[in-house]
Chain A
Amino acid sequence: MNVETLINLLLAGITLGAVYLLMAMGLTLVYGVTKVFNYAQGSFFSWGGYLAWYLSVGYLNWNYWIVIPITVLALFLFGMLFEKAIVLPLRRFPGWDFTVIIVTLGCALVLDNLILVTFGPLSKSTPHLAEGTFTFGEFAIAKHDVIMFVVAIAMLGLLGLFLSKTRIGMALRAVSQDNMGARIVGLPVNTLYSLSFGIAAILSAVAAILLAPRTLLYPLVGWTTILKAFVVIVLGGLGNIKGTVIASFALSIVEIFATYLIGGIWGLPIFLILMVAILVFKPKGLFGAW
């Protein structure tokens, strides 16, 4: 393997890692605020991708730059509604943490198969955000990949600013640190629960728009993505931002190299085998944060 291939693979790994990070952050945010582990987030991803496809190249042929904000907004509303309609009513049950896992799994089954029913089993592709490549002497990188990385990192930066600077963001963090305390000082906790789901849905939609041109869309596409985000979270630690960032880049680089060396289908297995192997030695994840 020469230097150019090495650099190209590293770049591909890093751009992929940025997108996994979006998904993992969505899961972490929702878990932090609501203590719910949302198995249906993969379906948010799929629906985001399919909606963008439907509105643009699929049927309606709208301008892609109009489609993107519409998709993101639609997913935001869907995420909020999902929490209000399905997760919130479960909270009064004893042992609801188990109930909510199964219910979100059930929702994933419903949402994924609705995709199959509506759009059929054939895979779809959304447009690249920019055509062509940047070339720097010996090696080249697709413009779309650059956009992927920049947008993903910008989204995370925005999320960070939102959480640390705005009043709503601070309220979200307050709920995640001390639910009871947040209630006592009069924060609208139930609304904040929905908001966190909405934000996670936005992150999923953006991830889908960025990733779909590279991996294509098929009814179970959300599962592949969400499982990778699971691994990132297990290794990085739920709620451990630094751990999540490191884990997602490390794992995506490993995935890209494994794909290059032994074939594309091994991406996910390598992820999971690594996860189990690491958990044997470090049962609390890479950083022992939980």
Chain B
Amino acid sequence: MKYAGIDIGSRTIKLVVLADGELVFSRKSMTSHSPLETAQELMNGAEFDVITATGYGRHLLKGHLGCPVISEITAFALGSRFFSRNCSSILDIGGQDTKAIALDDDGLMKKFEMNDKCAAGTGRFLEVMATALGFTLEEFWRAALSAGKAVKINSMCTVFAESEVISLTSQGALREEVALGIHKAIVSRSVGLLKKVAPPGMVFFAGGVALNECVKVLLEKEMARPVFVPPDPQIVGAIGAALSAMKEA
């Protein structure tokens, strides 16, 4: 049997297929104005027997395919165990939301916290700030890592922070230092969320923002505990959905 999981996120859609407990297929695409169409394109040519959907667009696909759905919180809890059995909590920073999840000894979700309605301190926030500074995403975190000190960013609202960044650079602040300030702001917000629920132990860091090495380094420092980033942090939710499909089958 081949088990597929699809994670329809706000910024990207991820599809994976598991067979004999191994990851045999993985594909990603940007979420377009029509998530359902994008999801169908992704599924084209992928071979699987059953599929489970997760992510904010899960009910859309359920309405279309009649497939089972699970929330992304449960999906991340399940998916994290595919990569590591030693983590006691998960931080997922996705396109438009941040989740902190506590796991019990069996790897089941025990408690979770999510950010409020707006996209403050999420992947989208980092994208907007990188653009405001004229960096690509990779240049952005490399610049932040290279900075000797940080310029403090006061606003976590994407719109206000963007004008703050523009005003700082026009006053002559170094781009690298502003970049580090932005990274520190997002980490401090995530740590606040994580500390509400996370038991001691290793943190599993997932979602698109886990590709940002500066965030990982700062997170380790702030939490004073090891942080584990899986080989492809963006597909953890999709893998969780596939594992759920396997469990239900």
Same complex: no
